[in-house]
Copies of this chain bind each other. A is one copy, B any other.
């Protein structure tokens, strides 16, 4: 096997959602690089594989380590939750490539896609992303809150279904409520709003409410928040959680 770097999407949580292509990229690696809890999700680590665990929030350092290893002839897998291209490790790796050693551009760098969190969250309740939608990260570590507000406003204007990544964090306790307040000024209070924690795992937990009633306290770091479009609706079922879906059509 030649030197290479693959950024591998582990999917939403269960080994059942790791694609065969992703599993092969993990099995073929000499070095596994990632945030500890993601490395813990690799189904089988071989004895000859070197494991490089790092803390959260050091994506660029992790990317540079992975690139340095690949440049030295190793075959590296950088693990990422969900899909690497959606608020995860792939952009950090390419940022490191752009700013780093020019020889890194010659490396065989690939992205192995995965099931991103909003797809697993949506699947767990029905089809809330059935119409046009957007995905916004609420983290303002890397962009301004003004930009986030501008995007929330435009999303409301477009009547997109809105998937909120990084919706809640101990370091940013007030932002999700600010986002709900902003959306309440622009959208009906009756808008279907979903909190899906640990989607795609055995610990999945779903809370269904309206935009009027939505509170940040219902979310933690593992929670995906989905705010519906004007068309998103419930199908009631006696004794069970309703199905939630967004019709493909404007008129119903």
Contacts and interface: CB of A to CB of B under 8 A. Distances in A.
Interface in A196-248: 200, 233, 235-238, 243, 245-248
Nearest to A243: B94
A86 B129 contact: yes
Q: How many copies does the complex hold?
A: 2
A237 B134 CA distance: 31
Task: Specify the main secondary structure of chain A where it touches its partner.
Answer: mixed
Contacts of A29: none
B160 A235 contact: no
Interface string A134-162: 11110000111001001101110111100
B130 A91 contact: yes
A132 interface: yes
B111 A114 contact: no
Nearest to A112: B123
Given A134-B132, A135-B134, A16 B19 contact: yes
